[in-house]
């Protein structure tokens, strides 16, 4: 199951150095300003999404198309996964027919590690409650676009921490880049492997430069009453938003539960960068694909 020809992958934020992160930002700036050339030779990319996705899947498709790649899409219902085929065998099939980049979202933490010796570049598009490195990179790029630095910034991550791969990827990367990271969540959603630094939402809005909100992941819960009182106790209300620093910004990986983690009126407010994140998602994913194809990660 191994190959000496394995290509570079992006499976975790922990594999990236600060220098590699900033290199991706430079590439993304080029993509944003159309200072790039599409891939000249025919190159195939496969999007293997075994969990639902709108933003990640669509932005990868746009990124691949802009780069001139030939794109194919697989999901759990229209592929041989319905026949019991393993992820490894599916990816081995893609490798065998000439796919060079595979973007994979699936529910098992660390499963892609078993496939990293294949001769195609793997991009982790979310593995259960594990990591989501491309979301983290677009979040970081959006922060850097606004502040031009990370050192000394206070970032508060608020929401369903226990089940959030976004929080996990961002917390690691932000600390490495020199930011201070605090967390806001319900007691039952605390994650001792992530942090022991919890603050209230009222403290967060007074202190933070960046407020990163997370949705309640209903698909990973059994309690149907989680939303009751959530906005008032743990979410961003208009009253709390008014207490934020004038230059502070609001992030959210989406989908947004309007009126739950954030008042609906704030989703497109001046401090919000929620839809800017989505725009940046295309350019940073273009940068990631180009860097992998050139062996720069």
For residue 165, say whether it is annotated as part of any ligand binding site. yes
Residue 268 backbone phi and psi in degrees, to 5: -115, 30
Q: For residues 155 and 136, is the Cβ–Cβ distance under 8 A?
A: no
For residue 273, say whether it is annotated as part of any ligand binding site. no
For residue 116, say whether it is annotated as part of any ligand binding site. no
For residue 56, say whether it is annotated as part of any ligand binding site. yes
For residue 168, say whether it is annotated as part of any ligand binding site. no
CA angle, 131 as apex, 267 and 206 as ends, to 5°? Answer: 40
For residue 7, say whether it is annotated as part of any ligand binding site. no
For residue 240, say whether it is annotated as part of any ligand binding site. no
For residue 162, say whether it is annotated as part of any ligand binding site. no
Please give the annotated binding residues for L-aspartate, written as ranges: 83, 165, 215
Residues annotated in the binding site, as ranges?
55-56, 83, 105, 132, 135, 165, 215, 254-255
Binding residues for carbamoyl phosphate: 55-56, 105, 132, 135, 254-255
């Amino acid at each position: 199951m191994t190959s000496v020809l394995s290509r570079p992958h992006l499976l975790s934020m922990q594999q990236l150095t600060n220098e590699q992160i900033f290199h991706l930002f430079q590439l993304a700036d080029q993509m944003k300003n159309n200072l790039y050339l599409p891939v000249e030779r025919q190159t195939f990319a496969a999007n293997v999404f075994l969990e639902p996705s709108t933003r990640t899947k669509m932005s990868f498709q746009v990124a691949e198309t802009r780069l001139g790649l030939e794109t194919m899409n697989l999901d759990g219902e229209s592929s041989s996964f319905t026949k019991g085929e393993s992820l490894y065998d599916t990816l081995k099939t893609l490798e065998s027919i000439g796919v060079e980049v595979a973007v994979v979202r699936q529910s098992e933490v660390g499963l892609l590690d078993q496939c990293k010796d294949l001769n195609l570049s793997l991009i982790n598009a979310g593995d259960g409650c594990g990591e989501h490195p491309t979301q983290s990179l677009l979040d970081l790029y959006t922060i850097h676009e606004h502040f031009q630095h990370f050192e000394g910034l206070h970032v508060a991550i608020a929401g369903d921490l226990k089940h959030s791969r976004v929080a996990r990827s961002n917390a690691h990367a932000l600390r490495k880049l020199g930011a201070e990271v605090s967390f806001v969540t319900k007691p039952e959603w605390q994650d001792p492997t992530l942090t022991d630094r919890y603050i209230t939402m009222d403290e967060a809005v007074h202190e933070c430069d960046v407020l990163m909100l997370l949705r309640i992941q209903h698909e990973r819960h059994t309690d149907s009453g989680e939303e009751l009182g959530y906005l008032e106790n743990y979410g961003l209300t208009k009253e709390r938003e008014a207490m934020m620093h004038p230059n502070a910004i609001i992030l959210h990986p989406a989908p947004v539960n309007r009126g739950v983690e954030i008042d609906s009126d704030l989703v497109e407010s001046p401090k919000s960068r929620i839809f800017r994140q989505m725009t940046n998602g295309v350019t940073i994913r273009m940068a990631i694909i180009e860097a992998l194809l050139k062996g720069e990660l």
